[in-house]
Structure 1
Amino acid sequence: MMERIGPIFEMLEGTSLVCWMAFHRGIFELVEGGTVGAEELAFKFAVNNINRNRTLLPNTTLTYDIQRINIYDSFEASRKACDQLSLGVVAIFGPSHSSSSNAVQSICNALEVPHIQIRWKHHPMDNRDSFYTNFYPNYSSLSHAILDLVQFLKWRTATVVYDDSTGLIRLQELITAPSRYNIRLKIRQLPIDSTDARPLLKEMKRGREFRIIFDCSYTMAAQILKQAMSMGMMTEYYHYIFTTLVINFSDLFEHKH
């Protein structure tokens, strides 16, 4: 969130200088192990970068206050948002998961306060929201990028594996590609409410499906890499594309063959 307190006036050589002190506040979910999440790190990095570059916001100093909630706790997200809005903030940043973010967005719509979102958002479904800006790349652009990559690699066959129905929307350009390009696709879904992808991986191994595109969370991506390694599916014959925009490099090196 951002709260502006000021102006603070200083006299420098007979000139009145108006200085603003802006307080940013963010609402972020707690991650496993109590570590700081990527979104929170990016938020802090952005604020510190702006403060170091005095050409961006002259005469302004940004400070931040972080509020943390449990993942998918929409009630706590609403409570934190109301507490901070009572302080006169001008915007809210986060949280990233849909249920918590939707709760905060509803409050922002009612009070006409800008909400800075950092999650994937299907605009046709969510067009009732008005007071927001979304930093997450447009799903159509991402889908085009994946299709461009597949064409660049000259893949003629591929398997698309999605986590939930939103994955079909995110990969719309790729899924409709066979009608326009010389490519054959097989569509599969990851197991629901389970991180065990080994039965599905076994099916794909038996079917000699070597070029696979996964649309899933970064935590599921790490599980898939680990399970693929244990099943001998990290050889030079297998090629994977993960659409997640967040993945830990240590996960990649850990499962490098």
Structure 2
Amino acid sequence: MLIISMAVLLALFAAASADTGIYQAPETQGFVTSTISQVLGTVTETDSIVWQLGDDNLIAPPLLDGQIIAVMSYTENTIADQGLIEYTKGQSLDTAVAVAGIYNFDNGKTVDFIGLDTGRMTSDENMVLDTADYGYFDASSLYVCPFVSQVTTETPGYCNIIEMGSAVDVTLASLATAADERHVMDSGDPAVAADYYISMTGFGDVPAMGSASAYINAHLQEARVYEGDKAEDVLYSETSTAAGEISVFAKEIAYQSGIRRY
């Protein structure tokens, strides 16, 4: 028996970055969905969202003074065929201002799959958060607390993109995933954030059978002062994989980016 146990925690805290977030549009939207399936046969789930938000307009490049653009996307494609399946998922999107501990996009799912004969389940998720700002905001106006000191009087430009997700291909598994992100705020205090989590096990003493992978790709670019040249460039990628009889496969990814404070 091949037993693979993986638990990885990655936290990217861009302490010196200037990711200010973006304020909500005058009209806000929100929706919540919930899915529960208990099936002997086939279950499919296909989700797709692309959300673009600009403080002025979405025509870019180039960005103008003080202009911010943020793009968030999420997809899921799950096909569980010829098996005993329990699929549960909750998902929500809120385009209004989010405070610390609250997310604009939030979802989580659990899937138990026991394949029969040639039964098989494939499931993949991908979430991307891309933010860009020309700079020029008064940094002192980005904090709720009046006693916070800032490194710079005006926010510098930035261009940050982060991608995270997973993919599984199994004949038997108990799978759980969660994804959330926040980038709409009226101050820099909460910080822009994106998180992803996956956990896959078998049932009791029976391991999961198949393969699983999870990943993060990030490109972070920052200036130091308004109208300054690029002062920081971070490229990061990480992928974890497991295949065979898998007792545990787990990965957690946490990302934050915000105005530096003391």
Structure 1 or 2: larger strand share? 2
TM-score by length of 2: 0.23
TM-score by length of 1: 0.24
Give the number of the structure with larger relative contact order, counting CA–CA contacts within 8 Å between residues 6 or more apart.
Answer: 2
Structure number with larger C-alpha Rg:
1
